[in-house]
Amino acid sequence: MSDVIKTDALIVGAGPVGLFAVFELGLLDIKSHLVDILPKIGGQCAELYPEKPIYDIPGFPSVTGQGLIDNLMKQIEPFHPEFHLSEMVASVESIGTDTAPLFRVTTDAGTEFETKSLIIAAGGGSFQPKKPPIPEIDTYEEKSVFYAVRRMEDLRGRDVLIVGGGDSALDWTLNLQPIARRVTLMHRRDEFRAAPHSVEQMRSLVAEGKMDLRIGQVTGLRGDHGLLSSALCRGSDNAEFAISCNAMLPFFGLTMKLGPIANWGLSLSENLVPVDTEKFETSTPGIFAIGDINTYPGKLKLILSGFHEGALAAQRVYRYVYPDKRLTFQYTTSSSSLQKKLGVEA
Amino acid sequence: MTKLQFVDFGGNARVVEAPVGSTVMEAAIKNAVPGIEAECGGACACATCHVYIDDAWQAIVGPPTSMEEDMLDFAYDVRPNSRLSCQIKVTDQLDGLIVHTPERQA
């Protein structure tokens, strides 16, 4: 078993609001770890709209999603936050009291934390693979239909059908082609959004007869006890045909789901986490929710609201982390102690 | 104002009004039309505002751009008349437009 990571604050979600919380906590000498299900930092800003300008960040007439994330990363650099990417918080167990909260938090990768505060900044929830609504697909999931490849070896010698036209679909087509018995790539049109180089490689494998490319969409599955035997498909000319396969990997991008947060014992309201507007604390003392994931009277889902919420939550976290200390309010413009923390002393 | 008609999977129609210059997706969200999710808020980044353009309107609405066509790869049951409603700008020519919402978005 790996060592338990002890921390003052654990932030769930490395989007703009989670990142700025690191800053506000850091000013109060509170050290943060962050967990995010995506392999990269930035949440929706980086995943959904990295190139789109945002016009309502105070002080920035226009900044792109990625630009905002890059700036936030620079801003929180003095506080050395530690990131745990491609991990999802799977369980949260309270092991403290209401006045001295302590939580044991475990991720799906087995990382364990012991934290004095848990700050949920999970936005629209966790990004999870979009499931194509093919009838009965759930009975095949994790047995012969996979939305991600955890171990390539599991697919050795199998007839693999990969569905989609983006980078994930093409990358896995190329990676699995040498080890699968046969790889078939199916896409709804003969044009691909994936990197041109991968598409070229795929086309030459098809030309050499080493894999198949079919144009169409999967409409149904045939098999027994979750083990796939063939996929029923419809071509662009509406002709129906079947592809024999015993594993299918659909790659239809990501969608946001609340995910395991629903199981953490918090009161929820329509998949949002209700908080008070003084501390942005949930029904469980020591667990906070900031940004798009929370709800309260008058809530606006704006990045700037999430920044404010993080600043106020940090004040309360301070009381849990340093119960015997008095918190004096200070400005970064004039406080020499804050400036020292930021590494900008005159 | 331009009148837009949304017909859901079960055949129920509802008519909403949309100002010229807004998008068909915005009209759906403002009027709580079921069957349009628009998870990304109109950034052409999620394919959850997928609609089918009624046959009579296809020529007027026109085809998707290549960026939109790429994003449609992530939609389900894509047909030749598929569009993402966040990418359709409301104009005077679209008065009376009929779009069909799919069985589900994601």
What residue ranges define each of the domains in chain B, with the CATH number in brackets?
A: 2-100 (3.10.20.30)
How many CA atoms lie less than 13 Å away from A342 in the CB half-sphere?
17
The strands making up A212-215's β-sheet, listed across from edge to edge, are A212-215, A182-187, A159-163, A247-250
Mean per-residue pLDDT of chain A: 94
Q: What is the pLDDT of residue A82?
A: 98
How many CA atoms lie less than 13 Å away from A217 in the CB half-sphere?
19
A319 Cβ contact partners less than 8 Å away, ≥ 6 residues apart: A327
CB-closest option in B43, B76, B77 to A49: B43
Maximum separation of any 2 CA atoms in chain B, in Å: 32
Name the band, by pLDDT with cuts 50, 70 and 90, for residue A1: low
Alpha helices by DSSP H, listed for A151-267, are: 167-176, 196-207
Q: What is the pLDDT of residue A149?
A: 86
CB A209 within 8 A of CB A177: no
Name the band, by pLDDT with cuts 50, 70 and 90, for residue A52: confident
| C-alpha to C-alpha distance for A35 and A85, rounded to whole angstroms | 6
| Angle formed at CA A68 by CA B44 and CA B40, multiple of 5 degrees | 20
* Signed CA dihedral, A73, A260, A284, A104: sign only: negative
How many CA atoms lie less than 13 Å away from A95 in the CB half-sphere?
10
Q: Does B7 touch chain A (CB under 8 A)?
A: no
> In terms of pLDDT, which residue wins out, B103 or B92?
B92
Say whether pLDDT at B106 is over 90: no
| C-alpha to C-alpha distance for B74 and B69, rounded to whole angstroms | 10
Name the band, by pLDDT with cuts 50, 70 and 90, for residue A138: very high
| C-alpha to C-alpha distance for A291 and A308, rounded to whole angstroms | 9
CATH superfamily of A131-252: FAD/NAD(P)-binding domain (3.50.50.60)
CB A282 within 8 A of CB A267: yes
Q: Does B68 touch chain A (CB under 8 A)?
A: no
- The answer for B 15-34 residues in CB contact with A (under 8 A) is none
Nearest CA to A167 out of A253, A229, A73, A228 is that of A253
Name the band, by pLDDT with cuts 50, 70 and 90, for residue A127: confident
Per-residue pLDDT tens over the stretch A236-267? 888 999 999 999 999 988 887 888 898 898 99
Which chain B residues are closer than 8 Å to A124 by Cβ?
39
Name the band, by pLDDT with cuts 50, 70 and 90, for residue B43: confident
Q: Mean pLDDT, to the nearest integer, of A12-32? A: 97
Name the band, by pLDDT with cuts 50, 70 and 90, for residue A346: low
ipTM score: 0.76
CB A165 within 8 A of CB A191: yes
Q: Note whether A5-127+255-342 and A131-252 share their fold.
A: yes
Residue owning tokens 């095949």: A140
Q: What is the pLDDT of residue B75?
A: 87
The secondary structure element, H or E, covering residue B7 is strand B2-7
Nearest CA to A192 out of A211, A173, A210 is that of A173
Mark yes or no for CB contact A132/B104 under 8 Å. no
Q: What is the pLDDT of residue A2?
A: 63
Mark yes or no for CB contact A193/B39 under 8 Å. no
Interface test with chain B among A170, A193, A233, A300, by most B beta carbons within 10 Å? A193
> In terms of pLDDT, which residue wins out, B100 or A263?
B100
Q: What is the pLDDT of residue B21?
A: 94
The letter for the amino acid at A210 is: K
Q: pTM for this structure?
A: 0.77
Which chain B residues are closer than 8 Å to A187 by Cβ?
73
The letter for the amino acid at A62 is: S
Name the band, by pLDDT with cuts 50, 70 and 90, for residue A128: confident
Using CA atoms of B85, B88, B91, B97 in order, give the dihedral in degrees to the nearest 10. -50
**What is A73-138 written as a DSSP string?**
HHHHGGG--EEEET--EEEEEE-S-SSS--EEEEETT--EEEEEEEEE--TT-EEEEPPP--TTGG
Per-residue pLDDT tens over the stretch B45-86? 888 999 999 999 999 999 999 889 988 988 888 899 999 999
Per-residue pLDDT tens over the stretch A280-296? 999 999 999 999 999 99
Residue A226 has a CB neighbour count (10 Å cut-off) of 15
| C-alpha to C-alpha distance for A124 and B46, rounded to whole angstroms | 13
* % of chain A surpassing 90 pLDDT: 83
Q: What is the pLDDT of residue A31?
A: 96
> In terms of pLDDT, which residue wins out, A51 or A12?
A12
Burial of A157 by CB count in 10 Å (0-12 exposed, 13-18 middle, 19+ buried)? exposed
A171 Cβ contact partners less than 8 Å away, ≥ 6 residues apart: A194, A198
Mark yes or no for CB contact B46/A133 under 8 Å. no
> In terms of pLDDT, which residue wins out, B38 or A307?
A307
Hey, where are the domains in chain A?
Answer: 5-127+255-342, 131-252
How near does any CA of chain B get to the CA of A226, in Å? 22
| C-alpha to C-alpha distance for A44 and A68, rounded to whole angstroms | 12
Say whether pLDDT at A17 is over 90: yes
- Which fold is adopted by the domain A5-127+255-342? FAD/NAD(P)-binding domain (3.50.50)
Name the band, by pLDDT with cuts 50, 70 and 90, for residue B104: confident
